[in-house]
Amino acid sequence: MLETLQKKKSTSILLALLEDSRHVRELQSEVGGSASTIGSRIREMKEKGLVSEETEKNWPYKKIIKLTNRGRDVAEVLSGLSGFARKRKITLMSFKERMKWPLVLVHRLKEVDGATRMQKLLFLLKRKFGVEVPYNFSPYKYGPFCKNLARDMACLVTAGLTDNTEESYILTSEGEEMAEEIFENLSKKVREAIGSLEKFNKMELRRLLNLVYTQFPEESKGSREIPNR
């Protein structure tokens, strides 16, 4: 459901239907967008149980789109939020289990300087310390890289759980509260492994990259050097 809510026109359709049921063309006229986009969103929301479709009993037998009880509950939550807050709420709702890893990492280390360092620290947590982190890393410009991790970090910032002021990741008060609870529920072994990353977090970035390149050459093919930082 959450991926559907994040797609173009989804929230607009739900909010329009909260006022009243609509014919498909009426819906398109009100929220804008192409017929194919509106049609796709309606199909997706039907699959997720957010809307239902009925055909009028009389000519011209138009299809009417209505909110289900579930769809109404979601629409009512979204209707009370401003545009930015609505986006933030959806992002929080779409918090994935894997996102806990960068969150607890920043919680334990207090601050992580930049996206490249974040990528390498979580890679080391997985490959060097054997923690089952659900990110898959591939060789890239500066060593092992995971697109999903990059996306998740952007989502955590948008959701107001992390802040990357001056390119350093720190937790907001809301993020700290969430991360602390998650961290305390991790096993002692995993907590200690995350704590072991502290020395790597304090390394100059160039030294950290050279360490990763040397110890994990397969995941570092074609990598570049980087100036001291």
Q: What is the 3-state secondary structure (H, E, C) of the chain?
A: CHHHHCCCCHHHHHHHHHHCCEEHHHHHHHHCCCHHHHHHHHHHHHHCCCEEEEECCCCCCCEEEEECHHHHHHHHHHHCCCHHHHHHHHHHHCCCHHHHHHHHHHHHHCCEECHHHHHHHHHHHHHCCCCCCCCCCECCCCCCECHHHHHHHHHHHHCCCEECHHHEEEECHHHHHHHHHHHHCCCHHHHHHHHHCHHHHHCCHHHHHHHHHHHCCHHHCCCCCCCCC
Average pLDDT, the chain: 86
What is the CATH T-level fold of the domain 2-92, as seen in this structure? Arc Repressor Mutant, subunit A (1.10.10)
Average pLDDT score over residue span 19-47? 91
The CA distances from residue 113 to 121, 214, 229, in Å, are: 11, 22, 10
State the pLDDT at residue 108.
97
Query: Token pair 């890393």 is at which residue?
Result: 137
Is the confidence at residue 122, as pLDDT, over 80?
Answer: yes
Which pLDDT score is estimated for 85?
A: 57
Percent of the chain whose pLDDT exceeds 70: 89
Residue-wise pLDDT tens digits, 54-112: 988 888 788 899 999 988 888 887 776 656 555 655 555 556 788 899 999 999 999 99
Q: State the pLDDT at residue 2.
A: 62
pLDDT tens digits, one per residue of 166-183 = 678 999 888 898 889 889
Task: State how far the Cα of 9 lies from the Cα of 40, in Å rounded to an integer.
Answer: 10
Which of 43-47, 149-153, 224-228 is least confident?
A: 224-228
CB-CB contact of 213 with 206 (8 Å): no
**Domain spans of the chain?**
2-92, 97-220
pLDDT at 177: 87
Q: Which residue has the higher pLDDT, 193 or 223?
A: 193
